[in-house]
Amino acid sequence: MIIYPIAIILILLIAFFVVWRRAYFVEKVGIVPDQPEGFLQSEERDVDPERGTQIQEKKKFSIFHFKKKGEPEVMLEKTQDPLMEKAEELFFKKQYISAEKWYLEVIKKDPRNPKIYSRLGLIYISQKNYKDAISCLEEANKLEPTVASRYFNLSFANNEEGNRKEALDSARKAIRLDPQNPKYKNWFNELRSRPF
């Protein structure tokens, strides 16, 4: 008899944690969907004019356009690689293990794309694999050193790994790139206030 109230309390605590964690992720990472209508937009069919039959079917996909706080909105290309589209779809569905496999396939074709390394860094942070997250985010910053959120994520991963000096340096770079963002300032102040 006492098991039922305990089970209900546990379910409520888990539900609260899931909702709280999602709100924390949205607040910390700053991902806000602009277009919630879905992925499939339209369908085109090519018809053979002599026979009047369908010869090929093409589908146009559009990934949600996400805007990160403090960064300019980047529109995805319509002729994006199908592997990248699949990886992005899985990433935004939070199916990180599958998304990681797809991103690793895309890296083989496009090893100079900083977005892929950034996404892998976020996946590894969510898995608490901070060493791999650090290496991916450092590579993304080498390829594109002007994105403040990547330095913020790198600072977080370095802090979790115990690299306080590197965490402070990355936080400074994030503030330098986006001085108006209070999230970066609060994080930097929190890091500075902790004893070494």
- The contacts of residue 123 (CB under 8 Å, 6+ apart) are 91, 96, 99, 100, 103
- The contacts of residue 119 (CB under 8 Å, 6+ apart) are 87, 88, 91, 99, 103
- For residue 24, the model assigns a pLDDT of 54
- For residue 45, the model assigns a pLDDT of 34
C-alpha distances (whole Å) from 87 to each of 43, 90, 96, 98 are 21, 5, 9, 8
CATH number attached to the domain at 71-193: 1.25.40.10
- For residue 28, the model assigns a pLDDT of 52
- For residue 17, the model assigns a pLDDT of 72
Which region among 32-41, 60-69, 116-125, 131-140 has the lowest average model confidence (pLDDT)?
32-41
Q: Which residue has the higher pLDDT, 78 or 139?
A: 139
Mean pLDDT of the chain: 77
Domain ranges of the chain: 71-193
Residues 30-83: tens digit of each pLDDT? 444 333 333 333 233 333 444 444 444 333 333 334 444 444 444 444 447 899
Q: How confident is the model at residue 5 (pLDDT cuts 50, 70, 90)?
A: confident
Q: How confident is the model at residue 23 (pLDDT cuts 50, 70, 90)?
A: low
Which percentage of the chain shows pLDDT scores above 70? 68
- For residue 32, the model assigns a pLDDT of 40
- For residue 40, the model assigns a pLDDT of 31
- The contacts of residue 114 (CB under 8 Å, 6+ apart) are 139, 140, 141, 143, 144, 147, 150
Rounded mean pLDDT of 125-134? 95
Q: Which residue has the higher pLDDT, 124 or 17?
A: 124
Q: Which residue has the higher pLDDT, 49 or 110?
A: 110
Q: Is the pTM here over 0.85, yes or no?
A: no
Do 114 and 144 touch, CB atoms closer than 8 A? yes
- For residue 63, the model assigns a pLDDT of 38
